[in-house]
Amino acid sequence: MKTVLVTGGAGFIGSHVVVELVKAGYRPVIIDNFSNSERPVIRALQTLLNQEVTLYDCDYQNNKKLKEIGETERPIGVIHFAAFKAVNESVKQPLKYYDNNVAGLIKLMKFIKALTKLKHFVYSSSCMVYGEPDQLPVKEDSPWKPATSPYGTTKQMGETISSDTTVVSKHFNALSLRYFNPIGAHASALIGELPIGKPQNLVPFITQTAAKKQSSLTVFGNDYPTPDGSCIRDYIHVVDLAKAHVKALMHLEEKPPAYYDVFNIGTGHGSSVLEVIKTFEQVTDQKLMYTIGPRRLGDLTATYASIDKARKVLNWKAEKSLAEALSDAWRWQQKLA
């Protein structure tokens, strides 16, 4: 059985990818220091998968430990999720983001270069690399604009580091998946998004507001040049996103060393913040309290993906709707309540 290291594998996206890797016949090994995740996720994964899950409780920047893991587990690949990802927080704490997301990635790439039996690397990137796009939907060859936040800058730098390192490699290949906005939860309600402290993303704030854990939801701006004045994003179900990683890994297994490519992973459709709120109310029969606030630093006006390349090359497309994702997210929230 092929072993794959999953850095940040106890997190929201990582845990769902672990499930899909097992379903596809891989053996995922989680590396996580739980700085942005919860330890009960491991028990939930073991219940869901009905098997033990290998975990290394450590920082992925621990060079000595990473070397030990590589020698013990002999992985064929790494899927990297151990980055900080809150746009607003990155504006307030840029050095935290550059240290973990950029300096940490450099250490990880050195590890991959040194481990010659490790053949494949999947980088967790973001649509934030495009900055404020000139045209929609955004295509992979759309020019990069200056990032609107330090988080976006770290993803631009991360892709550059991954690409530059890979194309001169003699033993491994890589690709970057540019996520749009992952939401939802596993249909079992055993794993889902677990924000630590006050949620930074829209959907967990919506579900916590509906569950009375937050008094009110703030819509950051209603004066954007969009049909209803609120920001537009491409919201993708986390299970669809997880399946894209399996397709990406399988694709890399067919490619030679030094191969590198990038793919948008979204639905190809944009929904505004106010549309998401309305859809949540419709599918859950929950009335949300929300107010309109000022624009938030680092937010884009609108972005959604062109997914033609992922469909053609990876043979992947999103299958779940916004309504399904919001329903699953609410079921997960009710379990937590």
Catalytic (active-site) positions: 151
Closest CA to 133 of 248, 7, 304, 283: 304
Residues linked to residue 264 through DSSP beta bridges, in sequence order: 178
* Peptide bond preceding 143 in cis form (omega within 30 of 0): no
Query: E strands within 169-321?
Result: 173-179, 181-183, 217-220, 232-233, 235-237, 260-265, 271-272, 290-293
Distance from chain centroid for Cα 144? 20
Cα–Cα distance for residue pair 240/16, rounded to 1 Å: 9
Record the tokens describing residue 89, joined without a space.
């927080």
- Helix axis angle, 63-73 relative to 104-114, nearest 10°? 40
> In this structure, what token pair is assigned to residue 70?
């590589």
In 3D space, the residue among 176, 134, 160 whose CA is nearest the CA of residue 300 turns out to be 134
Torsion (CA) 195, 198, 204, 209 in degrees, nearest 10: 150
Q: Could you give the angle at which helices 273-284 and 202-210 cross, rounded to 10 degrees?
A: 40
